Structure 1
Amino acid sequence: MKQHIQTLKHLLSTKDDKALKQHYLTSNEAENIVQLAYLFQQGMSELSTYDFYQQLATEFIEIKSFPIALIAQMKTREALSFFTLALQLKDNFKLTDHMQRNALHYYFQGNQQVASEVQFNYLRSMMLFESNDTLRDALCQRDQHNLTPIEAYLQCNENFNDLATHEFNALLALIEIQSKQQAVETANYISTIKAVGKLCREQALSISTDLQRLVLIAIYFSKPIKDVVRDMH
């Protein structure tokens, strides 16, 4: 175990808040990533301590900054939920990495090692019940491939299981929110159907009007579903 983590564990046991923060401040970004990952793992392992570790991680990020390398780790609902408070600080939802991707890009694209389900309703609820202009703006940001987070979901998410009705409706609401901020980039239609067609073939999925992802692509790009199916063949 690295010395900086041993020190973190010791300071956690002494409950020395000032020393904990000083240790985090004097650690480099790579060490900060590991330290935050440790707090996340501890919080996930015991429900009764979740709030403590989440708040401590938020305070660490507040006194320094949101580590750029941490953005790409927001691939699961557990990670996004744990770091939501930190992402709401200082416009961190709009913070981007070297690929011009924000946390929503990675969350919507999902974890390609496991079939991850995106909780669109969680984000929609945040927009409805909180003043969250930063989250709305993040929804409209484009990465280096000119994709918004929703387009990253449509094009790259490898989980083709149907969304539950409330999640489907929440995604439609997010699409509407985005459309009110900026026009859909119609040029992304071709790259989307090519990418999704490749994923379908890799997973031996039938390309038909019954596939929910194709329905969403049709809605998003204002195309008849039959045209989407035809264009993918």
Structure 2
Amino acid sequence: MNLSKQALPQQAAEGYSPRVKPVILRMVEELKQMEMLSEVHVEQVTELCSIVDRPEMKVVGIALPISYESRGYGGYYDSGQAGGTINDYFYTKKLAAEGEIALLSSLIEHQIKGREIVTVRTEVQGDGNYKVIVGMEVSSFDGLPDSVEKVTVPGGIYLHITQLEVNGDNPGIPYDAAFNHLEELYLSAHPEYTRDWSRHVIARFRQANCASVFVPLAAE
């Protein structure tokens, strides 16, 4: 009797796959998936400002044209909001309060990748007008209704501006920094980067009073 042959385990047939994957294999696959989806930290600039490398993302939502006047510049605009202004934050807050975000979630529930509310600025013009899309990130546009807006946000290097998650914080602070103080906040000290106007500005709302804004950068 040849004991050496008995000691060797039988080789699985080609194409064999167990019905239940071992725990370690499932963990490896989940970690790989998380790495594909998550942003990569590149550089910490300040406590509330960093450089990240983000993957491409697909966003589905509800769109609204925003004008220079509607944001409270150049005259009064009656939006029903304090000060008579309407902007990304007030529009997002309005959709959430009226149940539109919940309705959107029910329409795209099979494709949702996360429950955070995301806004994307598109069709940005030199006169201060743009279109904002408020919605959620999805894995695919397949099968989604035509009534929702769809936009693919390119991946790449972004300046991530955030704020402390403290009750009472003004969620407009990161927006103000991103659009009015980007030069002194980051660009003046980092001439190797410039603002990339060909890509979209993204905002992510973790809770009602806290926003993170991502400004696309390009290497010089």
TM-score normalised by L of structure 1: 0.23
User: In proportion to residue count, which structure has more helix?
Assistant: 1
TM-score normalised by L of structure 2: 0.24
User: In proportion to residue count, which structure has more strand?
Assistant: 2
Q: If you compute each CA radius of gyration, which structure gives the higher value, 1 or 2?
A: 2
Q: Which has the higher contact order (CA 8 A, sep 6+)?
A: 2
